[in-house]
Amino acid sequence: MWKDYACEINRRLIKPTSGKIIIDNKFEYKKNTNLNISYVSQNSFIMKDTLAKNIAFDDDNKIDFDKIDQIIKILELDIVMKNKKINYQTTVISEDASLFSGGQRQRIAIARALYKDSDILILDESTNALDLRTEGRIIKNLHSIKLNKIIIVISHRKETRRLCDYKINLS
């Protein structure tokens, strides 16, 4: 199922036909280069499986559980799992993820992007279902990994934008 979802994502992405992208003088992508980007929108896909598989999108024997543990702490999903008595390796969640709130589903989607370990992480309104305090903590926690990646946060909330190093207003 996840392979079908990944193929659908690839069909929807626009592939550049010319030019190049240079970010922070660190990353340069030219025509026909695979962009190492993770994009998280405000709406996330959850499949009927364990939380670990929803994050890793991989076979059980290939999942790096230590990596998932770190990501779960960054996104404070460990607190959610403790409160809901969920074991992320064994508890199967439904496709509608009714066990989780909208903000918790968004954190699962962000966890999936972090697990992929892309150079560039784009969060497009992907924390808008969180309360401001939780969102603030999550964004601050993401600062711990920003040395190795570029994180672009798209948000209408000025409180969220205040937590970012650089701001661009597209109005």
Would you list the domain boundaries of the chain?
Answer: 2-161
Summarize pLDDT for 60-91 with one digit per residue, the tens: 678 999 999 999 999 999 999 999 898 998 88
**pLDDT by 10-residue block (mean), the chain, 171 residues:** 44 64 67 74 86 83 90 93 90 84 91 89 90 89 79 85 80 71
The mean pLDDT of the chain is: 81
Neighbour-count burial for 118-155, b at 16+ CB within 10 Å, e otherwise: bebbbbebbbbbbeeebbbebbeebeeeeeebebbbbb
CATH of domain 2-161: 3.40.50.300
